[in-house]
Amino acid sequence: MIGITSCNYHVPFCRLEREKIGQAWARRAGKGERAAIYFDEDALTLALEAAQRCIEEKGKAGIGALYFASTSAPFWQRSSASFIAAASDLPSECETMDFGGSIRSATSALRAAVDALSGERLSRVLVAAGEVRDGQPGESEEEWFGDAGSAVMLGRDGVIAEIIGMASRTDDLLDEWRRDTDDFIQTQSSRFTTERGYQANLVAVGKALLQKQNLQPQDCAKVILPSPDGRAHVAAAKKLGFQDAQIQNPFFQEIGACGSAAPFLLLTAALETAKPGDQLLLLSYGEGADGFLLRVTEEIKRRSLSRSLSDHLSEKRLYPSYQIYKKMRTYYAENEDGPELSNVFLAKEEKQNVRLYGSQCMRCGTRQYPLARVCISCQNHDSLQEVPLERTGHVFTFTRDHLYVAPDSPTIMSVVDVTEGGRLYLQMTDVDPEDVRVGDEVVLTLRRRKEGPTMHHYYWKCRPAR
Amino acid sequence: MPYSIKDQVAVIGVGCIKFGDNFDQGYEEMAVEAAFAAFNDAKISPEEIDAAWLGTYSPAQGHGKAAVSLGDALRLYNKPISRVENFCATGTDAFRHAVLAVASGMYDTALVLGVEKYKDRPGRGLAREGVHPYHNDGSTAPGLFALAATRYMHTFGLTREVLAKVSVKNHYNGSLNPKAHLQKKVTPEEVLTAPIVAYPFGLYDCCPTTDGAAAAIVCRADLARKYRDDYVLVKGVGLSVTSGRPFMDPNFDYLGFRATQNAASQAYAMAGVTDPLKEIDVAEVHDCFTWTEITNYEDLGFAKKGEGAKLIEEGRTALDGDIPINPSGGLKSFGHPIGASGVRMVYEIVTQLRGQGGPRQVKDPKLGLVHNVGGPGAVSCVAILGQP
């Protein structure tokens, strides 16, 4: 049996009410909010957060490949998949691939993963998607798009949703695109793109898949399809023969159209209420379409859901203005005042800075960071072993620093005692500064740090456990 | 037990310029003014100086990380000069080096000069140099001490209202001192309602960024009378260096500074001080932030851990208290040009021991203490000075 063993999402803590975008451009706006990155997030960090949740849930033993999908990766050239693999402390034998070019790229990666598992070449594959989506300023897409990350772990053991069928089609219809010179996504949204692009492709792939499996729409518990505008998905699903109750909420009012991050995010939401035996039709659009038929297994009962997507979305910070939302997206591009570091330094320190290893004294047991040769507790020389630190902990002490120059002040600096030992000095993110207390439980999260003249910097921060 | 240099070295001259936003004075001008004030005070000529130590954390633009900025400013060439840099303990440590060299018998006289020119730099606060690009990103001087204050307040229930009393006291003392940067009294309300710099510290909980220079001349104790009758003797010195990354030290309780405790016990042992609260008559301690002064009371042995606040609440550290602390106005109001501060504190204690403190003179001091703690509580230097 090949299928999903874990799936997760990460929606930015910050949101912007669409009304605020309308105010900025002096026009009417749509309802709801769009998910919007903080200054320290990008498509890579969003995908990594979701991937890290999969690893937390299922461990990382046996992961043979990590695939990354995005249309908005932070690098034109440099593998985000390789960086996520390092941050996830996967071994160098891990196969990494980057998928892009289409908002369908996450499901393209999913197809490739299923193929790799079917050929028995690999036994577990982690697929992560992240998107930071920018419509043309002032156009409706600026409101409709949203930022998010999502991930699925695939394997043969512990499958919660078996993949029983796949179908694909291609269609070079110009719907949304971004040239190598464009900062914003180009669109020609119209009834034409909705009907002849989105609807036609999803209906065609959905029909083909149902036919191939000899299934009727009523045999499926849910149809899951991302929505470009909060409406079109309903028409497409109905055209396929589905009833309202079968249509997965696309969370358009809470997140927005989040490109390649949408399929796994919505699948995760659908699995929250799924029962063994439920069949799910997952559809994904972009220059054609991909479709997957999944059957939920008994294993789903063993999944302990601590919180639903709705719970996750209810904790948030609303940007007070369009200007602040905009600053968070552009600050690093406009402020390259971070350090220029050598690749020698970065390579030397990868183990502690990216893989988050510390040293454990084999004599007295103290875990310490950064990597050391002499124990900080017993001063014993060369009795230290490199160990991966846990990525959870609690706040020992903190400050709200208004002096430090940052795009958003104050900066929360915290001293975090890591679960199982080790102490770290970390900026805290995704939190209302006034809510921080000594003793708070936190989760470590790799985020963008000061921008260098030629490079993005990433280092660990912490955020409240949620 | 280390070798004691008690009573072997005398301070025969001190000099200090007006601290502040010295927009019209460059590094060298401040250095010259402070050094010649000390030369004049000791009635010694520059040629008679055998060796010199320069305390500078941030060399002036174009000066380089060496001792040449002292030599070039004073045109003091072909002499042994070393530059000392040890976080905020730089000035006291430079003094300590000069004292040890004279005590060794190698030199008869030595100059200690502390200088810092900060107000010609862009940006705000102190420039951070040599820090790890990732591990320290986000840290500032007030932020580093605020981490300790937060933990201390969480543990002992200390409030910002009590911290404010330190600011009020030191601003009052500074208002009596014509050389202080901020000669202005503040009320508790002003302190508590000022903008937050790094919680729990507001603007008036923090020392300012300041330009300044101070100098001291030391010589062999047996030669001191040649220069003046009211010389002051060095009774003890101590220096302790602990982790510069306390925020990654899993053993650190963040309730005080081990460096101060260790440096003080070294100096007390050398000076023969066993009950600091009774024996020390006046002290200049490192009040970079209000909470730092509270923990200093404890780390220097004036109060038990967790009980330092009582000293300020009961007025015992005021000018007329039984243990006056920071009669100069402290870093809080005198200002804190890093390398100059320790030497400036020596200047203040010598002035107090000579009875020349004017309106801020404390009553009949015999034994005084100078203390700096630098970095994130990593380095501390203590010197004890007394009347012969």
pLDDT of residue A408 exceeding 90, the answer is yes
Q: Cα separation of B4 and B271, whole Å?
A: 8
Q: In 3D, which of B182, B202, B203 has the Cα closest to residue B335?
A: B182
Check CB contact under 8 Å for A424 and B248: yes
Residue A367, domain member (yes or no): no
CA-nearest of A298, A227, A265 to A32 is A227
CB contact under 8 A, B197 and A399: no
User: Judging by beta carbons within 10 Å of its beta carbon (0-12, 13-18, 19+), is residue A182 exposed, middle or buried?
Assistant: exposed
Inter-chain CB proximity B197 and A402 less than 8 Å: yes
Q: What is the pLDDT of residue A120?
A: 86
By CB neighbour count within 10 A (0-12 exposed, 13-18 middle, 19+ buried), where does A243 fall?
Answer: exposed
CA nearest neighbour of A283 among A38, A104, A415, A118: A104
Q: Sheet with A33-35: list strands edge to edge.
A: A33-35, A14-17, A317-318
Angle between helices A262-272 and A105-118 (to 10 degrees): 70
All residues of chain A having their beta carbon less than 8 Å from the beta carbon of residue B197 are 401-403
In this structure, the answer to whether residues A122 and A254 fall within a common structural domain is: yes
Which chain A residue lies closest to B197 (C-alpha atoms)?
A402
**Contact at CB, A403 and B198, closer than 8 angstroms:** yes
Give A135-150 pLDDT, tens digit per residue. 999 999 999 999 999 9
pLDDT tens track for A153-203: 999 999 999 999 999 999 999 999 999 999 999 999 889 999 999 999 999
Rounded to an integer, the average pLDDT of A314-331 is 98
Residues of B with CB below 8 A from A398's CB?
Answer: 147, 150
Put simply, whether B196 touches A (Cβ < 8 Å) is yes
Say which residue the tokens 């050094």 belong to. Answer: B35
The whole-number average pLDDT for the span A307-316 is: 94
CB–CB contact B138 A403 (8 Å)? no
Residue A19: in which H helix or E strand, if any? Answer: helix A18-24
Contacts by B157-162 with C-beta closer than 8 Å and gap 24+? B158/B291, B158/B294, B158/B309, B160/B192, B160/B200, B160/B202, B160/B205, B161/B188, B161/B192, B162/B294, B162/B309, B162/B312, B162/B313
The pLDDT of A265-269, averaged and rounded, is: 98
Check whether A466 has a pLDDT greater than 90.
no
Mean pLDDT, chain A, as a whole number?
97
Q: A429 — contact with chain B (CB < 8 Å)? A: no
Q: Residue B135 and residue A422: Cβ atoms within 8 Å?
A: no
Domain assignment present for A282: yes
Q: Which residues of A touch B292 (CB under 8 A)?
A: none
β-strand partners of A224: A282
- What is the domain class of B9-119+207-386 according to CATH? alpha beta
Tokens of A128: 């992560």
Distances (CA, A) of B282 to A154, A423, B112, B171, B224: 71, 38, 22, 17, 23
Cβ contact, residue pair A370, B249, below 8 Å: no
Give the tokens for residue B70.
Answer: 């002292």
**Interchain CB contact of A457 with B (< 8 Å):** yes
Q: Any chain B CB within 8 A of the CB of A346?
A: no
Q: What is the CATH number of the domain that holds A15?
A: 3.40.47.10
A360: nearest CA in chain B? Answer: B250
B155 to chain A: closest CA residue: A438
Please check whether residue A343 lies inside any domain of the structure. no
Test B137 with A406 for CB contact under 8 angstroms: no
Paired residues of A457 in beta bridges: A449
Q: How far apart are CA A102 and CA A189, in angstroms?
A: 16
Residue whose entry in the numeric block shows the structure tokens 């919505």: A266
Q: Is A387 on the interface with B (CB under 8 A)?
A: no
B194: alpha, beta or left? (left if phi > 0; alpha if psi -120 to 50):
beta
Looking at residue A408, the DSSP 8-state letter turns out to be: S
Residues 6+ apart with CB under 8 A from B141: B125, B126, B288
Residue position matching structure tokens 């309730």: B255
CATH of the domain at A454: 2.40.50
**Any chain B CB within 8 A of the CB of A360?**
no
Asked whether residue A395 falls in the same domain as residue A330, the answer is no
Instruction: Name residue, tokens 């419509």.
Output: A135
Q: Check CB contact under 8 Å for A397 and B154.
A: yes
How far does B154 lie from chain A, in Å, by closest CA? 8
Selecting among B97, B181, B336, B371, the annotated active-site residue is B336
A413, A416, A418, A457, best to mutate vs chain B, most B CBs in 10 Å: A413
Asked whether the beta carbons of residue B135 and residue A425 sit closer than 8 angstroms, the reply is: yes
Distances (CA, A) of A236 to A31, A200, B223: 21, 8, 100
- The interaxial angle of helices B160-175 and B290-299, nearest 10 deg, is 90
Burial class (CB in 10 A: 0-12, 13-18, 19+), B387: middle
| The pLDDT of residue B59 | 86
Distance CA(A125)–CA(A104), nearest Å, equals 18
**Which of B121, B247, B255 to probe by mutation at the A interface, max A CB count within 10 Å?**
B247
Check residue B129 and give its pLDDT.
73
Report the alpha-carbon distance of residue B385 to residue B353 in Å, rounded: 8
| Chain A residues touching residue B154 (CB < 8 angstroms) | 397, 438
Which residues constitute the domain of residue A177?
A: 3-334
Q: Would A235 be classed as within a structural domain?
A: yes
Q: How far is CA A369 from CA A351, A373, A380, A450, in A?
A: 11, 11, 15, 22
Domain stop point among A334, A350, A366 = A334
Which chain B residue has the Cα nearest residue A423? B248
Closest to A392 in 3D by CA, of A360, A350, A424: A424
A312 and A402 within one domain = no
Interchain proximity B142–A413, CB inside 8 Å: no
Please tell me whether residues A315 and A430 are part of one structural domain: no
Least confident of A433-442, A446-455, B52-61: B52-61
A157 and A242 fall within a common domain = yes
Q: Is the distance from CB of B69 to CB of B116 less than 8 angstroms?
A: no
CB under 8 Å to A258, separation ≥6 — which residues? A35, A131, A133, A145, A146, A147, A148, A226, A265
**Structure confidence by residue, pLDDT tens digits, A341-381:** 999 999 999 999 999 999 999 999 999 999 999 999 999 99
Which H/E stretch holds residue A112?
helix A105-118
pLDDT in tens, A14-27: 999 999 999 999 99
Which of A443, A447, A414, A423 minimizes the C-alpha distance to A359?
A: A423
Query: Is A340 part of a structural domain of the chain?
Result: no
Mean pLDDT score, A50-73: 97
Closest Cα in chain A, distance from residue B147 (Å): 5
Determine whether the interchain pair B154/A402 forms a contact, defined as Cβ–Cβ distance below 8 Å.
no
Length of chain B: 388
Best of A341, A378, A401, A429 to substitute, by most chain B Cβ atoms within 10 angstroms, is A401
With CB atoms and an 8 Å threshold, state whether B135 touches A370.
Answer: yes
Given A286, A307, A334, the domain boundary residue is A334
pLDDT digits (tens, 9 = 90+) for A105-141: 999 999 999 999 998 899 999 999 999 999 999 999 9
Q: Do A119 and A43 share a structural domain?
A: yes
* Nearest residue in A to B251, CA atom: A377
In eight-state DSSP terms, residue B141 is: H
From the candidates B88, B219, B288, B381, give the one annotated as an active-site residue: B88
Q: What are phi and psi of B382, to 5 degrees?
A: -125, 135
Distance from CA of A372 to the nearest CA of B (A): 12
Buried b (16+ CB within 10 A) or exposed e, A32-57: bbbbbbbbbbbbbbbbbbbbbbbbee
Active site residue B88: yes
Q: For residue B48, what are the CA distances in angstroms to B42, B68, B108, B222, B269? A: 11, 19, 9, 16, 32
Residue B1: predicted pLDDT: 65
Domains of chain B, residue spans: 9-119+207-386
Q: Distance (Å) from the C-alpha of residue A387 to the closest C-alpha of chain B?
A: 16
Contact between chains at A398 and B148 (C-beta distance less than 8 A): no
Instruction: Report which secondary-structure segment, H or E, holds B261.
Output: helix B258-271
Residue from A42, A250, A226, A59 nearest A149 by CA:
A42
Unique residue bearing structure tokens 């921060």: A461
Into how many domains does chain A fold? 2
Q: Which residues of chain B have pLDDT under 50?
A: none
ipTM for this model: 0.96
Q: Does A404 touch chain B (CB under 8 A)?
A: yes
Could you give the C-alpha distances from B61 to B10, B82, B127, B209, B212, in angstroms and in order? 34, 18, 13, 17, 15
Q: Could you write out the DSSP letters of every residue in B146-181?
A: HHHHHHHHHHH---HHHHHHHHHHHHHHHHT-TT-S
Q: Is B206 helix (H, G, I), strand (E, B) or coil?
A: strand
- Predicted confidence at residue A382, as pLDDT, reads 87
Q: Do residues B214 and B344 lie in contact, with contact meaning Cβ atoms separated by under 8 Å?
A: yes
Task: Enter the pTM of the model.
Answer: 0.96
**Gap from A427 CA to chain B (nearest CA, Å):** 7
Closest CA in chain A for residue B249: A423
Return the ∠ at Cα B298 (arms to B297 and B301), rounded to 5°. Answer: 90
Q: Do A177 and A251 share a structural domain?
A: yes
Interatomic CA distance for residues B147 and B256, integer angstroms: 11
User: What residue type is assigned to position B58 of the chain?
Assistant: S
Residue of B210, B150, B197 whose CA lies nearest to B330: B210
**Same domain for A309 and A448?**
no
Residue B33, token pair as written in the block:
């003014």
A:B CB pairs within 8 Å: 111
Backbone CA torsion sign across B77, B82, B85, B86? negative
Q: Which of A319, A334, A349 is the last residue of a domain?
A: A334
Is A302 a member of any domain?
A: yes
